[in-house]
Amino acid sequence: MEKKYWKSLKEVQRAEHLQADELPADHQAKSMIDILADDDNSKSSSRRDFLKWCGISFFSATVLSACENPVKKAIPYLNQPEELIPGKASWYASTYLRGNDYCPVLVKNRDGRPIKIEGNTLSSITKGGTSARVQASVLSLYDTGARYKQAMRNGEGLLWEEADADVVKKLGEITAQGGRMALVTPTLLSPVTRALIDEFKAAHPSLELVTWDAVSYAGIRKAHEQLFGQPIIPDYRFDNAELIVGFGCDFLGTWLSPVEFARRYAKKRRVSRDKPEMSQHIQFEGMLSLTGANADERVPVKPSEELKILISLYNKLAGLAGQSPAMEVSPAYDVDALAGQLMEHRGRALVVSGSPQKEVQMLVAAINQLSGAYGNTIDTSTPLMTGMSDDDAFETLLSDMSQGKVGAVMFYQTNPVYQYPDTEGIVNAIKNTGLSLSFATTRDETAEVCQYILPDHHYLESWGDAEFKAGHYSLMQPLIHPLFKTRQFQDSLLTWLGREADFHSYLKNWWQKNLLPQQNVYPDPTNFWVKTLQAGVLEVPARGMANLLPNPGALGDIMAALREQIQGADLEYVTYPSLSMGDGHDANNPWLQELPDPVTSVCWDNFSAVSPATAASLGLVEGDMIRINDKVEVPVLIQPGLAAGTLAIALGYGRTQGGISADGRGGNAFLLSPKRSFHGLVSSWTKVGSGHLFARTQTHFSMEGRAIVRESTLDKYKNDPAAGNELREYHLKHHNTLYPDPEFPGHHWALMVDLNACTGCSTCVVACQSENNTPVIGKDEVRRRRIMHWMRIDRYYTGDADNPGVVFQPLMCQHCDHAPCENVCPVAATTHSQEGINQITYNRCVGTKYCINNCPYKVRRFNWYEYATKEQFNTHTSTDLGRMVLNPDVTVRERGVVEKCSFCVQRIQEAKLKAKMERRTLKDGEVMPACVQACPSSALVFGDLNDPESKVSQLIKDSRNYHLLEELHTLPSVGYLTKIRNPRS
């Protein structure tokens, strides 16, 4: 039987009104008038006016052609550096660092402006991969609406000298009186910052450093300390695992080190004739996560049921090992077969859990110890330096602040007023503290409550370093002079200590003193600093951990806590960091707000996702507004694949002081978890409204239900490498054309997508937007099916709506050699290049949209308005500063023009010119479009089909390769490798 794929529940239910969630027609008309109502557009034009303006245009073109345009902007340099060539980009190594989010990066700097972020291939952690938030971080540099522009006291601006005098005086008084001070930070991955804080504590002995993460991994660290005596977070080697079992753990999306884990995971998921083996992935979870969508087998269960299954699994393994069970439970899932698999794959299996609870992580660690994971799929020699959060210390601090026992509190890169469950309590605690100050870079709820706001630099304006894993260091360096009157947090501490040296000097001296002796490549201190700064990363011998010896009685101490946690209810909730918003810090970034969630395809909103069965039992329909536990109001989204009786709500939304793109977007799910477990029982819910409208993109670009996705199983693939791809040979044999076959004597560019390696993370979507100046259009325009992304991630379901299989498919212009769009354009604006690229001449396009209608892949976009300059569309480029992020190598399109993927032709031309100047041919892999370069799992491969040695020309011969809609014989230059699954027999 042919496998059926569907995009939404409406397709499955064959609803009469597939597009029932579209905007009413009158709403569109009203919005047009609001947006375009200006003097020019409100006046009618006669034939006389038309001829008059034609005459003026002719006069301007002939008489004034020799006149120079006036200079509107000052030149960026008074004394231009000799090494700088105008119009040529420079690349600098740096580090993206935000709490537990980490990525070594290369920053493209054009005429003094950072405009693009890429991964640093020299990093052994990320190997050049990035995430959506890393790619979008360059935009936040130019956020004029949210960034603090100067020091402030009680809402009034003041000079830094005045702020320093106030703070030094007050801190001195508190220290002299023996008063308490506290500095609240997230986990500090910077060893130099930690050293500086230690010096500051020496000058102020009563200062307490309190580490608090909004999304904490401290449970893993504490679990290993209690079970093995080592407070570490080990390194999880998904590339060594043949069997992966996940429990509510989105390790491909947001958990611990997702960029690194995606690369490792994809390495074991690739198959070929030479390597016909792949890992097997089983996932237990309440929500449908990105990781669960990639699993071979997925079991939807409530959060409380996850724990029961874990306990039962431990009991079974302990029994096989001759040990005592933990406690008796009766899960709904029989773990006997799974336990047998773990023992069969002993030393080659890996179990992970996303729970922040120490007790749950102790169970997981014990299971991994019994299955031989430590030393094989779990590496303790290079532990992660994240997860230092201490919730108990933070709770104690808040209690003491509320009682007036704390003289000063400082917040660095933390926003607990938004992220802590008791907002009112923490606000009162801050107000009861004698001195409160925040070093926030951008507007946030905590800073707005503090007396002093002493804004920190953006990371692209800062010096710094990081140690994400033991022995793995990276550097951060400024790419631009500070845009506003801000000052780096570390420089503030140095100033208050009375130091004359800046943090750059402090950082350099610390590295030369502490890290220079640990390496033997560069003996000279100056050369060591310069070379390391150029590379951006440094690895020194790690501080290896001794063999972990379990404490047999440790699990017995947590039984009471486990009994409390397995208590379930008819309705439970789970909250999770979203792929785009994370903990909410980036909520004012419109690139991330407009990035469709890869699973739900919703943007600009969060929601309470429920399964169809649960919605029916509760009497809810999509768009109903509900209030959960009397704390959070969110709309209902009916989502296939969720466990029955489970609500799933994304964190990072519901901001009130984040900026124009952040405020009022969804509900604050942080308020739901008083114990910060991020799951719990729904004690009450109330319907408070209805009719909420989502911006949901999945059904926008339909290809009429044809065979878009092709897949098979590993067993079938081993017997027949063309399994699942039988149609390809038929289409090649029986579909011909009257057109002659195209010839490309030079290059013939092509792109291959491995559906087994693509995780659907959407990094490529943001990378494309950043590279190609794709505009932001806002929620209302997205709802009108006008999203402008050149690249999209299509998500297809197959099977039962209660627990469907999921396939992700990146889709961009297919650059067809027989392109249907080209022969319908009346002005020849769409043509085919001599290198196989389907291209648009923007100045020639008159906006008939015939090409859009004739494109079977629905990948062409139309500029209905001046999206790039209208503030109504939440766009960043409506301000002079925001336009600094634009790539000058790519035209900013005007209203009435069609646009689409160009294979990043500007990068192709740049590489060709470089090769020509060096008198050589292009090397395979030298040209990488933005999507290819950003992909953390290397799922996309680009190259020249005319080069028989290129990787892309080898992949196109693979028996798994197919093209979309081959029956149309459009001869696309984009190919896909069939999806191979490895289900249990």
Percentage of the chain surpassing pLDDT 70? Answer: 90
The string of pLDDT tens digits covering residues 322-349 is: 888 888 888 888 999 999 999 999 999 9
Average pLDDT over residues 14-19: 46
Of 614, 617, 596, the closest CA to residue 605 belongs to 596
Residue 965 has pLDDT above 50, yes or no: yes
Residue 113 has pLDDT above 60, yes or no: yes
The string of pLDDT tens digits covering residues 214-226 is: 999 999 999 999 9
Q: Report residue 85 as tokens.
A: 């060539």
DSSP run (H or E) holding 330: none
Average pLDDT over residues 162-169: 97
pLDDT-based confidence at 738, cuts 50/70/90?
confident
pLDDT-based confidence at 18, cuts 50/70/90?
very low
Residue that wins the pLDDT comparison between 443 and 84: 443
pLDDT-based confidence at 160, cuts 50/70/90?
very high
Average pLDDT over residues 795-801: 89
User: Considering the chain, what is the average pLDDT of its residues?
Assistant: 89
The string of pLDDT tens digits covering residues 656-692 is: 999 999 999 999 999 998 777 889 999 999 999 999 9
Average pLDDT over residues 148-170: 96
Q: At what angle do helices 489-496 and 160-176 cross, to 10 degrees?
A: 60
Distance CA 142, CA 880 (A): 9
Q: Report residue 441 as tokens.
A: 């870079």
318 CB neighbour count, 10 Å cutoff: 18
Provide the residue type at 883 as one letter: R
pLDDT at 366: 94
163 CB neighbour count, 10 Å cutoff: 22
Residue that wins the pLDDT comparison between 34 and 877: 877
Distance CA 743, CA 740 (A): 9
Residue 133 has pLDDT above 70, yes or no: yes
Residue 338, judged by CB atoms within 10 A of its CB (0-12, 13-18, 19+), counts as: buried
Of 889, 888, 841, 892, the closest CA to residue 869 belongs to 892
Residue 635 has pLDDT above 50, yes or no: yes
Of 63-67, 237-241, 919-923, 974-978, where does mean pLDDT reach its minimum? 63-67
pLDDT-based confidence at 6, cuts 50/70/90?
low
664 CB neighbour count, 10 Å cutoff: 11
Strand arrangement of the beta sheet that strand 280-285 belongs to:
297-300, 280-285, 243-247, 349-353
Q: Report residue 794 as tokens.
A: 């299509």
Domains by residue range for the chain, with CATH: 5-14+699-740+775-981 (3.30.70.20), 152-216+389-535 (3.40.50.740), 219-384 (3.40.228.10), 569-696 (2.40.40.20)
Provide the residue type at 572 as one letter: E
pLDDT-based confidence at 550, cuts 50/70/90?
confident
Average pLDDT over residues 106-130: 96
pLDDT at 14: 55
Q: What is the largest CA-CA distance in the chain?
A: 97
Distance CA 378, CA 373 (A): 6
∠ CA 119-911-135, nearest 5°, is 25
Provide the residue type at 124 as one letter: S
Distance CA 927, CA 933 (A): 9
Contact indicator for 895, 931 with CB cutoff of 8 Å:
no
Residue 39 has pLDDT above 60, yes or no: no
Of 412-416, 443-447, 737-741, where does mean pLDDT reach its minimum? 737-741
Of 111, 109, 120, 116, the closest CA to residue 137 belongs to 116
Beta-carbon contacts of residue 610 (< 8 Å; ≥ 6 apart): 618, 620, 636, 637, 638, 639, 642, 646, 647, 648
The string of pLDDT tens digits covering residues 830-859 is: 999 999 999 999 999 999 999 999 999 999
Residue 105 has pLDDT above 80, yes or no: yes
pLDDT at 730: 73
24 CB neighbour count, 10 Å cutoff: 8
Q: At what angle do helices 303-320 and 358-370 cross, to 10 degrees?
A: 30
pLDDT-based confidence at 27, cuts 50/70/90?
very low
Of 159-168, 169-178, 696-705, where does mean pLDDT reach its minimum? 696-705
Quick one: DSSP state of residue 556? G
Distance CA 518, CA 535 (A): 17
Residue 229 has pLDDT above 50, yes or no: yes
Strands 632-638 and 572-577 turn out to be: unpaired
Distance CA 809, CA 706 (A): 14
Strands 711-713 and 979-981 turn out to be: parallel
pLDDT at 20: 44
**Alpha helices, DSSP H only, in 384-446?**
391-402, 416-419, 423-431
Average pLDDT over residues 724-750: 82
Of 421, 397, 422, 420, the closest CA to residue 409 belongs to 397
Residue that wins the pLDDT comparison between 6 and 445: 445
Q: Which string of b and e fits 404-433 if b means at least 16 CB within 10 Å? A: eebbbbbbbbbbbbbbbbebeebbebbebb
For the whole model, what pTM was predicted?
0.91
The string of pLDDT tens digits covering residues 407-439 is: 999 999 999 999 999 999 999 999 999 999 999
Q: How far is CA 416 from CA 440, 469, 574, 683, 984, in A?
A: 12, 26, 20, 25, 44
The string of pLDDT tens digits covering residues 357-374 is: 999 999 999 999 999 999
